[in-house]
Chains A and B, each alone.
Chain A
Amino acid sequence: MTTVLEASCREAYRDALIAAMALDDRLVCLDSDTGLFLGMDFGTAAERYLNLGIAEQNLLGAAAGCARYGRIPFVNTMATFASTRALETVKIDLAYANLPVRIAATHSGLSAGNLGPTHHSLEDLAIMRLLPNMTVLVPADAATTVSLFEQCRDLPGPVYLRLDRKPTPGLPTDAPPIRIGQAQPLRQGEDVLLVCCGPYPVLMALEAAESLAARGVSAAVLNMHTLKPLDEAALAASNAPVVTVEEHWRSGGLGSAVAETLAETGRRVLRVGVPDRFVSMAGDQQFLLERSGVNAESIEAAALRALKY
């Protein structure tokens, strides 16, 4: 895996938002004391930055109130607070009311690292993809964050944008452009299909595909950055067995979405993700992923297992 750390998804999002707010007065930035915008200059859009303090139910409800009158609020909080603490507000006031609120959910997966399970978010994809009307986006690097940010602006309903906290390596520069709802093919292959989302899982899948190639196994890599609506056509385009990779509990997220979709076709689906337990130990994101068995070696082993049957 390359060790070049380019930028964090959340800072790429922040900069893109501030730039967009200057040009589009529908955009409102609702903060919850995250600190992400400390020292930032919103210029002429300064009055559209509102810090509502540490109160996530009020934050998301207020976003619905703004959206009811034509604004496009970008709500800033941690993934776990949006998806668990304020879930009922998200379900009723955003999803049921079908309002164009964008949730910028930072500290996704294990990216809160040392902050521990109170701040990890390993259930958010399961929760958000269950909600009707919700679009669920998982960028894999700073560049795709900006692209998905731009594209989600005019969607009619609510959007959940899952953002890593710390700088992560960029995707290969020759990757095809990213489109909401269309999986991004990052590598062609015949024998096995690696379906992944999020910065480290995508990089791990690419690394595993390299190792598999050295063994004579041809692996395709599909960046499933849009979890909802899921690009079922991209999954159906091949008959190869599938390995899913995500920074999320193995249940409920990408692996479940793919398995649900493919269950009726008889395709084999193996899931790489965080086991069903809280990751209650000190360590940074990469350490915790490694200790949780989310790494290129696990993906490679799963791919070989998938091929054995």
Chain B
Amino acid sequence: MRSGQENESPEDEAFALLDFEALVGRQSRFVFQVAYAMLRNSHDAEDVVQETFLSLYRSGAWRKINDERAFLARATWRQSVDRLRANPRRAGLHNTEDNATLLLELPSRESDPEQTLLEADQRAAVHRLIDALPEELRQPLALSTVQELNSREIAAILDIPEGTVRTRLMRARQMLKQKLSAQVEVRHAN
């Protein structure tokens, strides 16, 4: 990796751009998944991916990265949290156009249209329940869905102990199960 972005020759700049291009090619999908897990909106997630890479390019910090995945995941998480704080209404699948798209794309084992709609309705209910979780429980659960992110990496991103991540994941799942079972009981009663 080269350093000294201000006083570098055109040849160095070209090499740096190639390095940056390789970094984007390697990690853009991962960065998008982290952003999408946090924001649940593909357009917002793409914006966050671009902001993350551009801020890295501006600062030149990408030249000194040791662990690319951890660094990028942390940077993306911060950008996502800033976006959520700036506009909390945009967060959440049930408020966006992704809701319908996701429900239609989900695979269905049943060929019965009524059953398909029922499953889609159940998944939408699960998504709503996930979105309604407290942020301290929702964020570890959402990040756990990103490929190859284990508890240690999630702990590094959120800057909390690894044990806390596991505890929060367990609590989130228990809370979801309780609410889901309550909803199913209500439906069966109706």
**A, B co-complexed:** no
